[in-house]
Amino acid sequence: MSQSTAPGNDARDPQDPHSHRTVLLRGGDVHSPADPFATAMVVERGHVAWVGSEGAADAFADGVDDVVHLEGALVTPAFTDAHVHTTATGLALTGLDLSGARSLDDALAAVRQHAAARPHDTVLLGHGWDAARWPGGRPPTRAELDEATGGRPLYLSRIDVHSAVATTALLDLVPGITGRAGFRPDAPLTGDAHHGVRAAALAAVTPRQRTEAQRAALRRAASLGIGSVHECAGPEISDEDDFTGLLRLAAEEPGPRVIGYWAEQGQEGVERARQLGALGAAGDLFVDGALGSHTACLHEPYADAAHTGTAHLDSAAVAAHVVACTEAGLQAGFHAIGDAAVTSVVDGMRQAAEKLGLARVRAARHRVEHAEMLTPETIAGFAEFGLTASVQPAFDALWGGEDGMYAQRLGAERARTLNPYAALLRAGVPLAFGSDSPVTPLDPWGTVRAAAFHRTPGHRVSVRAAFTAHTRGGWRAVGRDDAGVLVPGAPADYAVWRTSDLVVQTPDDRVARWSTDPRSGTPGLPDLSPGAELPVCLRTVVGGRTVHVGPDE
């Protein structure tokens, strides 16, 4: 890919919206519903001005400030990751990452090495352990962690971030920790005990460390063609300074857009969300926990535990929050994973609709995060109340299958019902894809692949539908129907990719899974078959401004 500047013009960044330069991209493939055969695009004042063919592009060549020669590269809308914890993502990028540990011994060795390498850290931070994938299935004990750290404070969150292990020195920093719900002397911390220990650990992170972590996370997102992230914050996840600092950083520095949600309940939460600049009192407002930590709330007991998980909000609390948000003109949203938790959300929505009217509830575009254990009845409820399902296909890739964590927790039969994306789309439920990073990594093309090649074949969707959920779907989830697609008038948020031949892939085994026939009139996308090489991001542009240029550029 190369770039030329018209004679007499300076060499300012051609994508900088403050320069008001007009840019022609040509000689590639432009993924646009406006023209399935488009090879060129004009960007002006931060918006798409024209999309069309190479021949027609000649008419623009003399009237633009800059020409980008794509040399066969693919241009798509930038991705939107609809569920991110930005600071935690950055801390995972810069701290101890245990997601690759293959055993308890591996994890403890990594803790020892990390502690030795950071002798001056007040609290050691790590993330990503998953004992369900280790031989023996046992998490580290407190005594083992005390030994590995030399008695220093350490916080290690499980991969789902709904439980953690900690050293004695960190527990000692939390007054009354042994009396909090979710505390067990030598088992992972959950519930209120986990929230208290996490708050103590994060309080040791300096403002400078926090900003560095946020900047690292946003740079990683931009390098992957992500143009927007939805930050899911709240008092049980981070703090107000973290949230407002992130919004300020995103406003001041080139990078992905950050749309903030603040998950605090009721009228007080609504007012706080408004004061903090959040789009809604939504995101991770916990109705339940997570399957891996046995805290997702189920109708029937776990297959490997004699209980049904933890309920944090009932339908009446859901209804009260939806009413408060709707009347304030803000989005409501809930974290709900287990089938009982999802039922509570749908029942609460119904109660709110009975009070406010169905039309008002639907118009507010409330959302549900994760929504893994759905039934035909709750899917119908999502459609009825206009709920957006903000979901993470990488969860299925990581935990699905006959031998995965879902099957361990629920049994194979119940596990096969999880994450039914095809059924949601058939019912008309809007999907917005995300990562829940750092639970799973920022990986947009991998996310699209995970949905298209779901471990349960009946839940698969086409690559095109999955791609739409990860681009336009994220914009629709924040109430914008005019973005996330490359058509005239849309924001110029796009990414340029080096990739193989473009194809049209379907999830249906009864027909050809892919086609390169241009007569279909459907814009092609990269071949995402398992094992195929994923596209490489050459450039990411947000609002017409370049926020990432790959090393090959």
Residue of 214 and 502 predicted with greater confidence? 214
Residues, the chain, total? 553
- pLDDT at position 2: 72
Task: Outline where 259-329 has alpha helix (H).
Answer: 266-276, 315-328
- pLDDT at position 62: 87
Q: Which residues contact 258 (CB under 8 A, 6 or more apart)?
A: 86, 218, 228, 229, 231, 246, 247, 250
Tell me: pLDDT of 540 over 50.
yes
When pLDDT is cut at 50, 70 and 90, the band that residue 508 belongs to is low
When pLDDT is cut at 50, 70 and 90, the band that residue 185 belongs to is confident
Angle between helices 266-276 and 240-252 (to 10 degrees): 30
Describe the strand order of the beta sheet including 545-549 as a list of residue ranges. Answer: 29-30, 74-77, 494-498, 536-542, 545-549
Two structure tokens written together for 243:
């949230």
- Please give the mean pLDDT across all residues of the chain: 92
Q: Which residues contact 185 (CB under 8 A, 6 or more apart)?
A: 142, 178
Cα–Cα dist 355/321, whole Å: 12
Mean pLDDT along residues 206-216? 92
Return the sign of the alpha-carbon dihedral for residues 409, 414, 416, 418. Answer: negative
Q: What angle do CA 68, 69, 71 make, to 5 degrees?
A: 145
Residue percentage of the chain with pLDDT more than 70: 94
Residue of 501 and 428 predicted with greater confidence? 428
Two structure tokens written together for 346:
């749908």
DSSP string, 76-89: EEPEEEEEE-HHHH
When pLDDT is cut at 50, 70 and 90, the band that residue 372 belongs to is very high
Dihedral, 397, 400, 404, 409 alpha carbons, nearest 10: 140
Two structure tokens written together for 268:
């007080």
As to burial, measured by CB atoms within 10 angstroms (0-12 exposed, 13-18 middle, 19+ buried), residue 484 is buried
Mean pLDDT along residues 375-403? 97
Residue type, 19: S
Mean pLDDT along residues 379-395? 98
- pLDDT at position 522: 74
- pLDDT at position 236: 85
The lowest-confidence range among 83-97, 223-237, 277-291, 532-546 is: 83-97
- For the chain, the straight-line distance linking the first and the last C-alpha, in angstroms and rounded, comes to 7
- pLDDT at position 507: 65
Residue percentage of the chain with pLDDT more than 90: 81
Mean pLDDT along residues 86-108? 92
When pLDDT is cut at 50, 70 and 90, the band that residue 6 belongs to is low
When pLDDT is cut at 50, 70 and 90, the band that residue 308 belongs to is very high
Tell me the pLDDT tens digit for each residue of 440-488.
Answer: 999 999 999 999 999 999 999 999 999 999 999 999 999 999 999 999 9
Tell me: pLDDT of 329 over 70.
yes
Tell me the pLDDT tens digit for each residue of 126-173.
Answer: 989 999 899 999 999 999 999 999 999 999 999 888 899 999 999 999
Residue of 205 and 71 predicted with greater confidence? 71
